[in-house]
Amino acid sequence: MTVTPATANDVDAIALRNLSKRFHEGRLPSFGHTDEGVLAVDDLSLDVREGQIFGLIGPNGAGKTTVLRMLLGLVHPTQGASYIFGEKMHPGSKVLRRVGTLVETPGFVPHMSGMENLKSFWLAGGDSWKDANIGPALEIAGLGTAIDRKVRTYSKGMQQRLALAQVLLNRPQLLVLDEPTVGLDPGEMRDVRDLIRRLGQEGSTIFLSSHILAELELVCTHAAVMAKGKLVASGTVEELIGGRQSVYVEVDDVERALRVLQATPGVIRAEPEPPGVAVALDGIARNEIVAALVHAGVGVETVSTRRRLEDAFLGMMEGEDA
Amino acid sequence: MTGAILVELRKQLFRLRTYLAIGAMIAIPVIITLSLEFGRQPRHPREQTFFVVATHSGLNVPLAALVATSTFLLVIVVALFAGAAISEESNWGSLRYLLVRPVSRSRLLATKLAVACALSFIAAVVIPVSGLIAGTFFFGWHEVLTPDFTVFSQSEALGRIALATLYVAWCMTGVIALAFMISTMTDTTLGSVAGSLGLVIISQVMNAIDSLGNNRTFLITHYWRAWEQLFQYPTETTDMVNGFLLQIPYVVVFLALAWWWFHRRDILT
């Protein structure tokens, strides 16, 4: 199934409207002490349009998971509401039939096999097993004969792959994934990234959270940054990064390179990191600084791009703390 | 709905814990039978009990087995089945996945409760069945002799054993509702099992304090042994009716609290 760009941007797959969540400690209020609780999510509004691969970024404790859980009806918002495909969400909403979900870690019944777990999950939703997208899901899991072993014997990576198979069982139009690559090795991480990209190309909307920014940068079209329960920024990944980027230049003379770079317009910052220099750029191309260095007689060994989203993100976080 | 119940039943039935719990309920009447067969009976017992008369007939053994299990061991098993219902899924991390399906929380609770009840019923029923089989093998198929020397024909006794078993099973509904309620509030199965057993024990302790008098008739455990009156002459059923009715308010209150709590709960596990 493919969605043409014209229709893709007309419909909100997800709309969060003024979502707030205050967690109480469960203590009884006593004289001089009221349980104000903790404001985990503070008046958050967000739109994810159909066809987007939307990343939710934020440090641990920013409220990402709480947002995802409110979206799915697991956590009751203190204020506000969330909508999926225009339908207001409540626990067990019918629209969940069109959503595939991975919330934090996988959760399976340890004394049943992988296959029995998938079947049990599916049938508990009131659907017929013959409607399940079992073939492609098992292909993604790639568990082979281990699918008939008890989940108790699975490694963390195997459980994560089974969870991804579970996500795909209902051919979801929207995937909500919380930290989908946690616990995977680098090869498995790449497989998951490829899977997310492929599903995005096939027209699924994907809303995922992660604190591994390089990973989000690789797969997402759009992103939002959260800090302390609030939305700090949102937009396309390119917009968030802006004109800024940072590069690492390996040179033969660090001192000289620093002097040259600091005198070059468009260079925000140049810091020595032997055997090279880390350079933050705004509005200047990489080849221009290489040219400037070579022109000044500095030998350039390699030039590599740093993780740009991470820089943008850290820049925003610094602004938050100030 | 029935599909979901069957899936849940399958999940709970075919697992080591259930085998052990049901197995224990089958084993205890067999152990009682063997002990009576090979142990030495006092020639002049101080008191006539269901155990003393148990060797009279195979049909006597289910009664001894019910006396031995219905107020404690069966309660533990039932508290385990009901107390694990929600807390265990919470502990596995699978609860959130059950709740992101397009299914209401009420339906999940109803499914879980139905399966806990079914397993508890099985646990209660296997006790007299096991006793009947083991007892008949060793002591034969004779008329039943009760502790007050009433004699019942085999068919009459069978009917009364069935009624007594249903009554014992029904008396567990209050415990089921209690353990189930705690199960919606905690993430540890041990917590809900221990919590419900704790309240049962408090009830049994208070029931033993004579100075409380008629106030004890409101205790959840007060009428648990009223089925024994089915095997007296003349048969008295007032206590059984009271015991039957007494479970209802407990069940209603505990389940209402469970529903209320589970619907307002934030699923954070």
> Region A290-300: what's the mean pLDDT?
85
The answer to whether the Cβ–Cβ distance between B92 and A107 falls below 8 Å is yes
pLDDT of A190 reads: 85
| Cβ contacts from A onto B, under 8 A | 91
> Region A227-243: what's the mean pLDDT?
82
A285 interfaces chain B, CB cutoff of 8 Å: no
Which band of pLDDT confidence, cut at 50, 70 and 90, is reported for residue A82? very high
Q: Closest approach of chain A CAs to the CA of B124, in angstroms?
A: 25
> Region A196-209: what's the mean pLDDT?
91
Mean pLDDT of chain B: 93
pLDDT of A213 reads: 76
Q: Closest approach of chain B CAs to the CA of A107, in angstroms?
A: 4
- B263 chain-A contacts, CB cut-off 8 A: 91
Question: Which of A101, A111, A123 has its CB closest to that of B100?
Answer: A101
pLDDT of A188 reads: 82
Q: Closest approach of chain A CAs to the CA of B92, in angstroms?
A: 6
Between residues B59 and A297, the one the model is more confident about: B59
Q: Closest approach of chain B CAs to the CA of A108, in angstroms?
A: 5
B20 interfaces chain A, CB cutoff of 8 Å: no
pLDDT of A9 reads: 41
pLDDT of B24 reads: 97
Range of lowest pLDDT (A158-162, B81-85, B133-137, B226-230): A158-162
Report pLDDT digits (tens) over B138-154: 999 999 999 988 999 99
The answer to whether the Cβ–Cβ distance between A92 and B92 falls below 8 Å is no
The answer to whether the Cβ–Cβ distance between B103 and A123 falls below 8 Å is no
Q: Closest approach of chain B CAs to the CA of A144, in angstroms?
A: 23
Q: Closest approach of chain B CAs to the CA of A112, in angstroms?
A: 8
Q: Is the pLDDT of residue A26 over 70?
A: no
The answer to whether the Cβ–Cβ distance between A126 and B93 falls below 8 Å is no
d(CA A99, CA A140): 17
- Indicate left, alpha or beta for A78 from its phi (over 0: left) and psi (-120 to 50: alpha): alpha
Q: How many CB atoms lie within 10 A of CB A275?
A: 11
Report pLDDT digits (tens) over A88-122: 999 999 999 999 999 888 999 999 999 999 999 99
The answer to whether the Cβ–Cβ distance between A74 and B107 falls below 8 Å is no
Q: Is the pLDDT of residue A304 over 90?
A: no
d(CA B173, CA B191): 19
Between residues A3 and A198, the one the model is more confident about: A198
Q: Provide, rounded to the nearest whole percent, the portion of chain A with pLDDT above 70.
A: 88
* Tokens 């069966």 found at: B74
- Break chain B down into helix, strand, coil percent, rounded to 5: 75, 0, 25
pLDDT of A193 reads: 86
B201 interfaces chain A, CB cutoff of 8 Å: no
d(CA A121, CA B111): 14
Report pLDDT digits (tens) over A27-80: 555 555 566 788 999 999 999 999 999 999 888 888 999 999 999 999 999 999
Alpha helices in A90-185 (DSSP H): 114-124, 134-141, 156-168
Question: Which of B94, B101, B105 has its CB closest to that of A107?
Answer: B94
A1 interfaces chain B, CB cutoff of 8 Å: no
The answer to whether the Cβ–Cβ distance between B266 and A74 falls below 8 Å is yes
Q: Exposed, middle or buried: residue B123 (CB in 10 Å: 0-12, 13-18, 19+)?
A: buried
A234 interfaces chain B, CB cutoff of 8 Å: no
Highest mean pLDDT among A11-15, A240-244, A310-314, B101-105: B101-105
d(CA B156, CA B81): 33
For residue A301, how many C-alpha atoms fall within 13 Å in the half-sphere facing its CB?
A: 11
- B4 chain-A contacts, CB cut-off 8 A: 123-124, 126
pTM: 0.86
Q: Which amino acid is at B57?
A: S
Question: Which of A75, A92, A119 has its CB closest to that of B104?
Answer: A92
The answer to whether the Cβ–Cβ distance between A23 and B99 falls below 8 Å is no
Q: Which amino acid is at B242?
A: N
Disruptive mutation site among B86, B97, B265 for chain A (greatest number of A CBs within 10 Å): B97
Q: Is the peptide bond before A275 cis (omega within 30 degrees of 0)?
A: yes
Report pLDDT digits (tens) over B200-237: 999 999 999 999 888 899 999 999 999 999 999 888 89
Q: Provide, rounded to the nearest whole percent, the portion of chain B with pLDDT above 90.
A: 84
Q: Closest approach of chain B CAs to the CA of A83, in angstroms?
A: 15
Q: Which amino acid is at A206?
A: I
A93 interfaces chain B, CB cutoff of 8 Å: yes
Enumerate residues 6+ apart whose C-beta is below 8 A from A191. Answer: none
Q: Provide, rounded to the nearest whole percent, the portion of chain B with pLDDT above 70.
A: 98
Q: Which amino acid is at A40?
A: A
Question: Which of B95, B100, B264 has its CB closest to that of A96?
Answer: B100
The answer to whether the Cβ–Cβ distance between B102 and A69 falls below 8 Å is no
Question: Which of A69, A92, A119 has its CB closest to that of B102?
Answer: A92
Report pLDDT digits (tens) over B170-186: 999 999 999 999 999 99
pLDDT of A44 reads: 94
Which band of pLDDT confidence, cut at 50, 70 and 90, is reported for residue A5? very low
> Region A166-192: what's the mean pLDDT?
87
A173 interfaces chain B, CB cutoff of 8 Å: no
Q: Is the pLDDT of residue A4 over 50?
A: no
A61 interfaces chain B, CB cutoff of 8 Å: no
d(CA B133, CA B135): 5
Q: Which residues pair with A177 in a beta bridge?
A: A102, A208
Q: Is the pLDDT of residue A239 over 70?
A: yes
B110 interfaces chain A, CB cutoff of 8 Å: no
The answer to whether the Cβ–Cβ distance between B102 and A108 falls below 8 Å is no
Question: Which of A73, A95, A109 has its CB closest to that of B94?
Answer: A109
Q: Residues of A221-253 as b/e, b for ≥16 C-beta within 10 angstroms?
A: ebbbbbbbbbbbbbeebeebbeeebbbebbbee
Which band of pLDDT confidence, cut at 50, 70 and 90, is reported for residue A268? confident
Q: How many helices (H) and strands (E) does chain A have?
A: 11, 14
B22 interfaces chain A, CB cutoff of 8 Å: no
**Chain B residues 181-200 within an 8 A CB cutoff of chain A:** none
